[in-house]
Chain A
């Protein structure tokens, strides 16, 4: 034992009960209840975490959602299949194109529509652009949670460049509505690839700079290495997916395991790590950011110049889909993102249910992970799980 080693006195902290969970007696006046959120710079989106603290250590955490509930799933049940598009994409603000894809693919699968080859290439391009802009926000955002604000400024500028390309391609910056059941709304504009390549070169430079800024930074490492480690046995237990599961050693990527669109023609390998702390969860997203840039380049180099971009569909006002059900999944920047659609032969869906990664990661996983953590790390842990409240509440 070193000379300066101090054995902490844990006798005043709550002790585990018979079920292994800490017994917190609020009447003992030893603890402080603190709400982080719903309006707080240290939470992702509008959600709240009800924390019980012993000193600065969290002994109990409860996730509260509902501040964004707009009843989208209910509203879609009263809308035509085409009208459901504009509602479904708003379930996730950060990455709406994945919503567009899973919704369209469900409608197409249930109606037996095969989309043209050109539409598959363009959809893949849009999905990768969407992943890229999401990573450009969350990768430097992880630095922002430890006070490293400059990376966030750089990342937001880079994200704006991709939003410019989205605006050029689709007319919208955040919500695009570019996918439509049967294909996409149009071909790439003239000169789009050249302008995209110019943006990607800037992002290449950003990737190197953010590596120097964040991942070699002693303070960032001190705050993130070995903090909030996810045990690999939790992955299936809690339904963890995406970069969080891959950083814990699970080689699971929907694009590889269940190839959709033209992902089986692209050359990429999911990055896997074997120690899921905050640092590695952020690092793996940094690798995937590079991967998205590479995939966009591959798509632009290999996609056909012209071709049909939309398959014929029935009159959208009288489009009846036979009784059936479909579950379609895609890989968003946060992991497996799925939509379950049930039809009953009418012009409207009987049931639409979204499965977002945050549903499990921001509720049961976050509540258990926060126990024992320091209050100053709550925001870092949330960003490292990339929690997004709208997809919990729908």
Chain B
């Protein structure tokens, strides 16, 4: 695996290389190099199986990390290529022509993180959410609790955390002394 990384380093700018396991390596490259790097891995290095395209929101650095995990089924090892993109102008070159399933991943990332992949098929069609008009929900600044409180009707909740007291107040109100144990 180190030979491959050395070989790729001569052409592409690779950083943060982590040899996580003997058959699994992570490496970061630039946004501009990412698609040509994974194309080379697919066409010349035998990484024919595309495993996963994922996104991590590093909100404190104002960056999105895109991770492309590729697998070489013959040599039986994986490589994960990371690239960082600006969170404010989140856009990345589409890789939908390399593997069919990438269009689905990109469609989901558009919906969940608001990342644009110009040219990707059916990018703007709803994937999981329907009629969503808030900020993309997988972004770190989307507060699920606040959204629920604002969107859904308030529900009556027990004032006590003690199940015995709560059940007594509901089932035997005559015997209940009115005190709520915390």
Contacts and interface: CB of A to CB of B under 8 A. Distances in A.
Interface of A: 65-66, 69, 71, 73-75, 77-78, 109, 236-239, 250, 252, 257-258, 324-327, 329, 336, 338, 340, 342, 350-351, 353, 355, 359-360, 363-365, 368, 393
B52 A338 contact: yes
B124 interface: no
B93 interface: no
Given A351-B57, A363-B101, A364-B104, A327 B49 contact: no
A109 to B, nearest CB: 8
Contacts of A109: 20
Contacts of B80: 325, 327
Contacts of B76: 257-258
A78 B144 contact: yes
A238 B126 contact: no
Contacts of A78: 144
17 contacts: A65-B127, A66-B126, A74-B138, A74-B142, A74-B144, A75-B144, A78-B144, A109-B20, A239-B50, A326-B20, A327-B51, A342-B65, A351-B56, A353-B52, A364-B103, A365-B100, A393-B128
A368 B100 CA distance: 10
A365 to B, nearest CB: 8
B24 interface: yes
Given A327-B52, A327-B78, A359-B104, 6 more contacts: A66-B128, A74-B137, A236-B49, A238-B99, A360-B104, A364-B100
B117 interface: no
B100 A237 contact: yes
Nearest to B76: A257
Contact of B104 (A69, A327, A363): A363
A340 B54 contact: yes
A71 B67 CA distance: 20
B130 interface: yes
B51 to A, nearest CB: 6
B144 A351 contact: no
A342 B56 contact: yes
Most buried by A among B54, B56, B69, B137: B54
Contact of A327 (B69, B103, B130, B144): B69
Contacts of A250: 73
Contacts of A324: 18
A337 B125 CA distance: 26
Contact of B137 (A71, A351, A359): A71
Most buried by A among B49, B67, B99, B144: B49
B106 to A, nearest CB: 12
Interface string B102-113: 011000000000
A363 B126 CA distance: 13
Contacts of A258: 23, 76
B135 to A, nearest CB: 13
A27 to B, nearest CB: 20
Contacts of A364: 100-101, 103-104
B12 to A, nearest CB: 20
B52 A355 contact: yes
Contacts of B103: 364
Contacts of B180: none
